[in-house]
Structure 1
Amino acid sequence: MAVTAEPIPSHVSALDYVIGPALDQGHDVALYAPLMFRREARRRGVEFHRAGTDWTCDRTVQHTASDHWTAAGNASFNGYVFGRLWPDRAEAKARDLIAAWTRTRPDLVIAECSDLGAHLAARVLGLPVLAADNGLGPLLLDLWDTDIAPALTRLYKEHDQDTPTLPEMLTPAPVDWFYETLPHLPSRSPRAVRRTVAKDRTDLTEWRETSAARPLVYASLGTLATAMSGLRPTVEAMYREIVAALLAVDCEAIVSAGDLAEHLHSPDPRITIVRHVPQPALLHRADLFVTHGGRASLLDAVQATTPVLGMGILADQPGNVDAFARRGLGRALDPAATRDEIAGVMAVVLGDPAHAAAMTAAEAELARLPLPDFTALRDSS
């Protein structure tokens, strides 16, 4: 079985719901991805084959994408990144995969939903293929007819293929959680399957004991915006407002800020600032999660039954946190919210047991989803 990923730091962990069950079912799994994911493949015990480049690490690409977000907002960012940049990079990825899969033909391809080159390569070679939703599925469907398919048409014609289409999609959550606001769904709606995470993300080996008298707040704004050099000042400013808000709330807190942690300081020992933590494990100890609203982070929160305060920054994140707020799983704030606004919403969520109850119900719904059966999926593709 071949699994593919595109060069976004968190994207292999977002595919654990595919990789883990495939290994448990005895399948041979190989990850075809840019070089940045070689270590991630080794940690999961799967073969690694280099395919595509680490193009998202290019500073010019990052600055141009950041400029779209800063100057014209998230819609402009999405149109540029997913409607132009991603289709432009599909040709190189497809070329690598066609060469690799001609030598060693997989029985089934599970391609990240945004891996447009992998979708084409599987189609050219007549391989069974499914798209794995990494959180961008609703956004891709929304842009498909207007931006993505037209941008891919020339490349598809060069390979003697008809109109570009998105393969049937697997999604690790009930379909209506994230797809309910789309004007239309494809003829085959995404297939909801159970979500699993890698074992190394569930082990909390280092833990600072907290006071049972105070709630614990965990804050993290993810890896994507932090990795984009043009957005780092915005994200750093958000972290500073969050830390200032935490000082005004009667709680203990852990703030995970990646390499921005060295620029953040708290005068209060109740607040610990770190680079990284095993997030799923820590969330089981937390009473509130302040998050950027990436799909994986929100599902980590559901599985830990931890209410969220979402501050969606870019791509699918604003829509994700709005969807969770509508379901009563927490609250949403604008990324430009002030420390007073953040502190006020923190206090409201911590003081309202309805959010925790809604999370408990959501976790039960998520747990009822079936594990993916890859033999059956291959035979039906």
Structure 2
Amino acid sequence: MALRIAITAEPIPSHVSALDYVICPAVEQGHRVTLHAPPVFRREARLRGAGFRGAGTEWTCDPAVQRAASEVWRRHGNAAFNRYVFGGLWPGQAEVKARDLLTAWSRERPDLVIAECSDLGAHLAARVLELPLLAADNGLGPVLLDLWDAHVAPALLPLHKRYELDPPALPPMLGPAPMHWFHGEREIPPPPSARVVRRTLAPFRTVPAEGPVPALTLRPGRPLVYVSLGTLTTAMSGLRRVAGEAYREIMAALRAIDCDAIVSAGDLAGRLPSGSPHIRVVRHAPQPALLHRADLFVTHGGRASLLDAVQGETPVLGMGVLGDQPGNTAAFVRRGLGRALGIAAGHEAIADALTDLLDTPGYGAAMSAAGAELARLPPLDFGEIRGMLGG
């Protein structure tokens, strides 16, 4: 039976891609899927064959918000940044999103809501209307869990009281990777999980390029290194300088070793001369396809990027910046899937790490084992999940 499935996303550039493991199976199985998100994601919904309904604002794109959050990160570090953003700004936006969703879902009631784990307004709206609700982990699940009791729940409590709801709690969660990968060795155990399911990608993201990137000729016998520090660091004005310096140090390290490289740098690409015919700097690259060809991935450590690496069986050098990224890269190091350095690491330390990763077969073997574990996860069964939630 086809279901009316409402999926929600918050305005972070990569967040719809992070939900492909939910959106793509729902569309492929013939369910009626609507993405409820800020207008910036209208095109992303169309590319995936889903309907679209505007909900919430593009508040993360506000330059003042970006400057303030970047300044907290620069002055006080990532833990303070997470408290400020996910324990303060995010709950503060929940009411606007909830109002839009209450209007939409009162007119056409969905059979199932799958909301981003960080979409606190969607959680509230689903509870007000008593809809079956599941939180899709976009990578921020561990961060929210760490902040929940001391920061997130207290910030949401007045809003929940206004709607005469029980105190806020994280809904049952859905994830695209084994829980112990990212929640293991944490003081707080994983949240209740309705299901860990197979990870899928939107088809247009997996189409191989004719070559890795035009104007780069791969040399026989040389390893290929792919570099991307993600979309958020280059999109946030206050972090562009930090990201630019990191890219320059990485590229200096690449020039010091015998490799070919593709550097995906978003809006910074035009400011980063490669200095080598064997290093190609581009705005964007077909990441999942490239990671099936690359020998090493230098990454900011976003959850989706790390899982792209696992599916490509490509070891990583993680240089986590903010949010969940440092914790993600530390988790991969513990599993032997790569190495990690701070975002301010110099080119000599980066070159040493790249050389070690390229010369040590154990990293590749660990990635192959992780890829096999990921592939064994069961497919997403929406009817079963709806039944589990009492829908």
- TM-score w.r.t. length of structure 2: 0.96
Tell me by how many angstroms 1:186 deviates: 5.8
Is residue 2:30 matched to residue 1:12?
A: no
Is residue 2:343 matched to residue 1:335?
A: yes
Identify the match of residue 85 of structure 1 among 89, 95, 108.
Answer: 89
Show the counterpart of 2:253.
245
Identify the match of residue 129 of structure 1 among 109, 130, 133.
Answer: 133
Large movers: runs of 4+ above 4 Å: none
Question: Which residue identity is paired with 1:344?
Answer: D
Show the counterpart of 1:101.
105
Is residue 2:152 matched to residue 1:148?
A: yes
Query: Bigger CA drift: 181-190 or 197-206?
Result: 181-190
Please show how residues 228-243 of structure 1 align to structure 2 within 5 Å. Answer: 228-243=236-251
Show the counterpart of 2:221.
213
Question: Which residue identity is paired with 1:331?
Answer: R
Show the counterpart of 1:300.
308
Distance 2:41 2:156 in 1: 26
Query: Bigger CA drift: 201-210 or 8-17?
Result: 201-210
Question: Which residue identity is paired with 1:34?
Answer: P
Distance 1:186 1:44 in 2: 30
2:208 match: secondary structure? coil
Tell me by how many angstroms 1:187 deviates: 6.4
Please show how residues 148-187 of structure 1 align to structure 2 within 5 Å. Answer: 148-185=152-189
Distance 1:134 1:150 in 2: 22
Question: Which residue identity is paired with 2:158?
Answer: R
- Is 1:175–1:191's contact at 8 Å kept on the other side of the alignment? no
Distance 1:129 1:315 in 2: 25
Tell me by how many angstroms 1:205 deviates: 2.9
Is residue 2:388 matched to residue 1:380?
A: yes
Show the counterpart of 1:352.
360
Show the counterpart of 1:254.
262
Distance 1:187-1:302 versus aligned 2 partners, 3 A rule: closer
Distance 1:112-1:140 versus aligned 2 partners, 3 A rule: same
Measured on the aligned residues, the alpha-carbon RMSD in Å equals 0.9
1:12 match: secondary structure? helix
Question: Which residue identity is paired with 2:277?
Answer: P
Q: How many residues align?
A: 381
Identify the match of residue 271 of structure 1 among 276, 279, 295.
Answer: 279
Tell me by how many angstroms 1:209 deviates: 4.1
Tell me by how many angstroms 1:240 deviates: 0.4
Show the counterpart of 2:30.
26
Tell me by how many angstroms 1:176 deviates: 0.1
- Is 1:175–1:190's contact at 8 Å kept on the other side of the alignment? no
Distance 2:150 2:220 in 1: 53
Question: Which residue identity is paired with 2:364?
Answer: A
Distance 2:185 2:230 in 1: 24
Query: Bigger CA drift: 180-189 or 364-373?
Result: 180-189
Distance 2:380 2:25 in 1: 7
Distance 1:187-1:307 versus aligned 2 partners, 3 A rule: closer
Question: Which residue identity is paired with 1:224?
Answer: L
Structure 1 residues not aligned, in runs of 5+:
none
Distance 1:42 1:14 in 2: 16
Distance 1:311 1:113 in 2: 24
Is residue 2:118 matched to residue 1:114?
A: yes
Structure 2 residues not aligned, in runs of 5+:
none
Distance 1:266 1:98 in 2: 50
Distance 1:92 1:52 in 2: 6
Deviations along 1:48-79, one digit per CA (max 9) or x if unpaired, are: 00000000000110011001100000000000
Query: Bigger CA drift: 189-198 or 362-371?
Result: 189-198
Deviations along 1:329-375, one digit per CA (max 9) or x if unpaired, are: 01000111000000010000000000000000000000000111111
Question: Which residue identity is paired with 2:55?
Answer: A
Tell me by how many angstroms 1:225 deviates: 1.4
